[in-house]
Chains A and B, each alone.
Chain A
Amino acid sequence: MTAHEISEFLAPIRHEFPDQRSLILPALRFAQEEQGWLPQGAMAAVAEATGYSQAYVESVASFYDRLYTEPVGRRVISVCTTLSCMLRGSDELLAHVAANIGTNGEGTSADGMFTLQRAECLGACDRAPCLQVDSNDQQGPLTHDAADAIIGALRADGAPTRYDR
C-alpha cells in the first residue's frame, strides 16, 4: 500500500478531525486491509500520509492487539476464552480448532491459511462458546462439528480480497 493510496482514503475524513494525529489509527487499519498485517513498508506509508514519524506510528500500532506487526495467516480465528465462554467449553473449542488446522495451540498453520489466537471477551457471551473470524460477526454457540464446518468453508473460500481484522 502506498502513501498516496492512504492519503486518498483519508482525504474525505480529514476535516472530521481537528488534530490530524487522529488519522493514524484509521490509516493503520486501512493499510492493514491489503496484506492483513503491517509490514515496515505499510508503517512507512502511514507515516508519510499522516505526517508523523515512522517510529511514532509503530509505537501506536504496537499498542493494539488487532494491529499485527508480524505476519499472520490469511484468516485470523479468535476463540474467546474469558469466563462466560470458559464455562461453556471455550478451552475445549480452542484445542479442537487447533487440532483441525494443525497448530499446537495458538499460532499459524503450516500452509499460512490460519492464525489461531486466544481472545478476551468478544462481547458475545450469549453465543458462548464462540469464535470470530477476522472481525466478522461473532459465531456461536459452537459445537465442535459447527466449528469444523466454519473452518471447512473458510478453506474453500481461500484468501479474502480485503482483510478486516
Chain B
Amino acid sequence: MPQLNSVYRHREFQDLLTLSGYERAGGWNGLKATLEMTPDDALYAFHRSGLRGRGGAGFPMGRKASFLPVDSGRPTYVVCNADESEPGTFKDREILDKNPFQLIEGVAIASYGVGCERAYIYVRGEYGHQWDVLERAIAECRAAGRLGPDAFGPGAPFDITLYRGAGAYICGEETALLESLEGKRGQPRLKPPYPAVAGLYDCPTLINNVETLAALPPIMHRGADWYSAIGPEKSPGTKIFSVSGHVLKPGNYEIVMGETTLRDLIFDLAGGLRDGREFKACWPGGSSVPVLTAEHLDTPLDYESLASAGSFLGSGGCIVMDDSGCIVRASWRLAHFYRHESCGKCTPCREGTGWLEKILGRIVHGDGRLEDLAMLESLFGRISGRTLCALADGAVAPVQSALELFRDDFERVIEQGGSPVPEPMGVINA
C-alpha cells in the first residue's frame, strides 16, 4: 500500500513554514529547472507528466494549459482555486496550513508556462487561519525577491495576489470563482467560452486546484517521466484522500494512484471502524459523487477504476458510514447542503434541490409514502444535465445512487414511519 509524500512534503521535512526551511528541503528546485526551459517546453512537461486536475473533474492539467491562446494580445492569468468546500474534503487545507511555499512555487511554475505575470489565489472565506499562513509566506517571498520585479530573472516580473471569498460553496465552481474575483455575485457563467479563452477580466486564464498546482514542483524537479511512471498510465502520480466519518483515524492520506484500494484506505490507513460495526457506504470523492457499497471496497483508487465502479474520484474526499448510520438520513442531509448552496440561477437546480430536500425530509420524519420514491426518480432526470454548472448533477448523484443501491432501506424507513436519530459516533479516535 504505497504512500508517497510528494505534495505533502511537510510530512517528510521539518520547518516548511519558513522560506529558509523550504529551501533546505529542496524548495525552488522545480522552479529553477522550469526557468531553464522555454515556456513551451514547460507546458510540454506538464502534459507529459500526465498530471490531472485534483479539484474534481480530473481534466489533464497540461492539456488545459495548452488551450490558452499565445497571441491574444492580452495579459494571461493563473488562478488557483483554494475555495475547498466540497463536503468531506480537507486536503488543500493541509497544504495551505503546512506547506504553503510548495503551492507558491507551483503557481509560479504554471505561470511561467503560460506567460502570466500576476496570479491569484482565491481562498475560501472560512479559511482565515490558512489565509494568515499564506499571507506570511507570500510576504516572505516578496522580501527575498522570489516574488516581484525580478522573480523569473532580471526584468522578468511575477507576483501573486491573495483573494478572500466570503462563504459560498458555489464560488469553487471555476466561472463562479472568476465572477467573485471580479467583484460580483458568485454565479456561474455560461460555457463556452471556457476560462482558457475568456476567463478573468475576459483574458486567457488557467484555473487549477491547490493540489494540482502544488504537485508541479516535484514534477519539474524530478522530471515529467518520473511522475508519469508512478501509478497507472491514465491516472499517474499521487493523490491525497481526505477520509472522514465513521473511521477511527480520520485524516489526509497521500497515496500512489492505482496501487491502493478503497479497503486499504479505509481499513488500514484510516484505522477502520469501531469494534462490532460493519461497513455500510462511502462517498469516495466528496459528496457530489455516487455512493459505493461494501461490494466496491476492492476498487483501486484511480480515476478509471472508481468510474468503472460507478462513482468518481472527484476531490478525493472519502466520507465513510458504518451500519449505525442511516442512508436515507445521510441523503437528506446532503440534499440540504445542495439546496442551501444552489446559487438560484437555473430553475431545475433551484427548485429541484428544494424538492429533493423536502421529499427526503418527509421520509426521514415519518411522513413519507412509497409514491415518494417514484417522485424522487422522476426528479433526477429533470435536474441532471439541465443546468449551467455541475452543482445540480452533484446534488442528484448521491441521492440517485443511494436509492438504486439501498432501495430496501428507503422502503423500510417509509414503512417504519421514519428514521430514528442514530447514536452518533462522537469523539472516539484511535
A81-93 vs B, CB cutoff 8 Å, 1 = contact: the mask equals: 1111011111110
Select one of B93, B337, B421, B425 contacting A120, CB under 8 A.
B337
The yes or no answer to A113 lying at the interface (CB within 8 A) is no
Cα–Cα distance between A70 and B251 once the two chains are bound (Å)? 36
Contact present for A86 and B185 (CB under 8 Å): no
1/0 per residue B180-199: CB within 8 Å of A? 11111111000000000000
Q: Give the residues from 25 to 81 in chain A that come closer than 8 angstroms, CB to CB, to chain B.
A: 25-26, 28-29, 59-60, 63-67, 78, 81
Q: Which residues of A contact B251 (CB under 8 A)?
A: 126
Which of the candidate stretches B82-90, B219-227, B384-392 sits at the interface with the other chain? B82-90
Residues of B within 8 A of A23 (CB): 183
Contact B250 A164, beta carbon cutoff 8 Å: no
Interface bits B245-288 vs A (CB < 8 Å: 1, else 0):
11000111000000000000000000000000000000100010
Indicate if the CB atoms of A60 and B184 lie closer than 8 Å.
yes
Minimum CB distance partner of A32 in chain B: B166
Select which of B89, B118, B164, B183 is within 8 A of A19 by beta carbon. Answer: B183
Q: How far is the CA of A66 from the CA of B93 in the complex (A)?
A: 19
Q: For A87, what are the chain B residues with a Cβ–Cβ distance below 8 Å? A: 245-246, 319, 321, 325, 330, 424-425
Judged by a CB distance under 8 angstroms, whether B244 is at the interface is yes
- Taking a contact as CB atoms under 8 Å apart, the answer to whether A120 and B127 are in contact is no
- With A63-B168, A120-B341, A135-B126: A83-B242 Cβ-Cβ less than 8 Å: no
Of the candidates A81, A123, A135, the one whose C-beta lies within 8 Å of that of B89 is A123
Is the CB of A136 closer than 8 A to any CB of chain B?
yes
The answer to whether A126 and B340 touch across the interface, beta carbons within 8 angstroms, is no
Total A-B contacts with CB atoms under 8 angstroms apart: 173
Q: Report the minimal beta-carbon distance from A47 to chain B, rounded to whole angstroms.
A: 12
- B183 and A60 contact, CB distance less than 8 A: yes
In the bound complex, CA of A45 to CA of B340 (Å): 30
Cβ of B426 under 8 Å from chain A: yes
Which residues on B sit within 8 Å (CB–CB) of A64? 125, 165-168, 186
Chosen A-B contacts, 25 in total, with CB atoms closer than 8 Å, are: A21-B183, A29-B164, A59-B185, A63-B186, A83-B88, A86-B333, A88-B426, A89-B424, A91-B424, A120-B169, A121-B89, A123-B89, A123-B127, A124-B93, A125-B88, A125-B90, A126-B243, A126-B251, A126-B252, A129-B424, A138-B126, A138-B129, A141-B426, A141-B427, A143-B427
Which residues of A come within 8 Å of B, CB atoms? 13, 16-19, 21-26, 28-29, 59-60, 63-67, 78, 81-84, 86-92, 119-129, 132, 134-138, 141-143, 164-165
Known: A82-B333, A125-B89, A126-B242. 16 other contacts (CB 8 A): A16-B161, A23-B183, A25-B163, A25-B166, A25-B183, A28-B166, A29-B166, A60-B185, A63-B168, A66-B126, A83-B87, A86-B424, A120-B341, A121-B337, A124-B90, A125-B245
